[in-house]
Structure 1
Amino acid sequence: MTEHSHSSSHLRRRPKQQRGKERVEKILDAAAAIFDEVGYDAATTHQIADKAETAVGSLYQFFPHKAAIFNAMELRHVERAKVFWAQITTPEVVQLPLRQMIQVLMRSVSELFEHPVSRIVFIQFYTAREIFQSIDEGMTQEAINVLASILEQRNSHLGKDKASLIAEVCVHGTNAIILAALRNPDIQHRQRMTEQMEDLMVSYLEPHIGDHLVENVMKVMKCPHCRSRQISKNGSRRGKQCYLCKDCGKQFVESVMLKATQDTLQ
Structure 2
Amino acid sequence: MSSPNSLRRQPKQQRGQQRVVKILTAAAEVFAEVGYATATTQQIADRANTAVGSIYQFFPDKLAIFHALEAEHMAQVEIVNTRLIAKDIRRPLVQTIGEMVDAHAEYFEHPIHKIVYLQYFLAPIPGLFILFDDKFDRTIVNQFADLCQQRNPNLSREKSELIAEVFHRTYNGLFLTALKSDLEHRHKLYSELKNLLCAYLNPYIGDDLLVPHSEVMICVKCGSDRIAKNGHRNDKQRYLCKNCGKQFAQEYSTRGYPPQIKQHCLALHQQGMSFREIERQTGVSHNTVINWVRQLSTNLGKIKQA
TM-score over 0.5 for the pair: yes
Query: Counterpart in 2 of 1:135?
Result: 132
Residue pair 2:9, 2:57 contacting (<8 A) in 1 also: yes
Q: List alignment gaps of at least 5 residues for structure 1.
A: 1-7, 235-245, 247-266
Query: Counterpart in 1 of 2:47?
Result: 51
In the aligned structure 1, how far is the partner of 2:95 from the partner of 2:226?
Answer: 31
Query: Counterpart in 2 of 1:148?
Result: 145
How far 1:23 moved relative to its partner? 1.1
Residue pair 1:11, 1:72 contacting (<8 A) in 2 also: yes
User: Please, which of 82, 85, 89 is the counterpart of residue 89 of structure 1?
Assistant: 85
Residue pair 1:222, 1:231 contacting (<8 A) in 2 also: yes
In the aligned structure 2, how far is the partner of 1:226 from the partner of 1:188?
Answer: 57
Residue pair 1:85, 1:146 contacting (<8 A) in 2 also: no
Instruction: Look up the equivalent residue of 1:171 and give its one-letter code.
Output: H
Q: Does 1:121 align with 2:116?
A: yes
Query: Counterpart in 1 of 2:163?
Result: 166
Bigger Rg over Cα = 2
Query: Counterpart in 2 of 1:3?
Result: none
TM-score when scaled to structure 2?
0.68
User: Please, which of 5, 26, 49 is the counterpart of residue 22 of structure 2?
Assistant: 26
Instruction: Look up the equivalent residue of 1:232 and give its one-letter code.
Output: G
How far 1:54 moved relative to its partner? 1.1
Q: Does 1:232 align with 2:256?
A: yes
Secondary structure (helix, strand or coil) at the match of 1:135 reads coil
Secondary structure (helix, strand or coil) at the match of 1:89 reads helix
Within-5 A mapping of 1:91-106? 91-92=87-88, 94-106=89-101
Query: Counterpart in 2 of 1:218?
Result: 212
Query: Counterpart in 1 of 2:275?
Result: none
C-alpha root-mean-square deviation of aligned residues, in Å? 2.5
Q: Does 1:71 align with 2:67?
A: yes
Within-5 A mapping of 1:243-258? none
**CA deviation vs aligned residue, 1:69-109 (integer Å, no higher than 9, x gap):** 001000000011111111101243x2211101111101111
Instruction: Look up the equivalent residue of 2:212 and give its one-letter code.
Output: M
Rate the CA distance shift 1:104–1:73 in 2: closer, same or farther, 3 A.
same
Instruction: Look up the equivalent residue of 1:136 and give its one-letter code.
Output: D
TM-score when scaled to structure 1?
0.78
Query: Counterpart in 1 of 2:106?
Result: 111
How far 1:156 moved relative to its partner? 2.2
How far 1:114 moved relative to its partner? 1.0
In the aligned structure 2, how far is the partner of 1:103 from the partner of 1:180?
Answer: 18
Q: List alignment gaps of at least 5 residues for structure 2.
A: 218-224, 228-251, 259-287, 289-306
Stretches of 4+ moved more than 3 A in 1? 221-234
User: Please, which of 184, 188, 195 is the counterpart of residue 188 of structure 1?
Assistant: 184
**Percent identity of paired positions between Structure 1 and Structure 2:** 40
Provide the aligned length of Structure 1 versus Structure 2. Answer: 226
Query: Counterpart in 2 of 1:12?
Result: 8
In the aligned structure 1, how far is the partner of 2:117 from the partner of 2:146?
Answer: 23
How far 1:229 moved relative to its partner? 9.2
Secondary structure (helix, strand or coil) at the match of 1:114 reads coil
Instruction: Look up the equivalent residue of 1:209 and give its one-letter code.
Output: I
Residue pair 1:9, 1:133 contacting (<8 A) in 2 also: no
Instruction: Look up the equivalent residue of 1:75 and give its one-letter code.
Output: A
**CA deviation vs aligned residue, 1:209-233 (integer Å, no higher than 9, x gap):** 111111xx216x4659679794436
Query: Counterpart in 2 of 1:35?
Result: 31
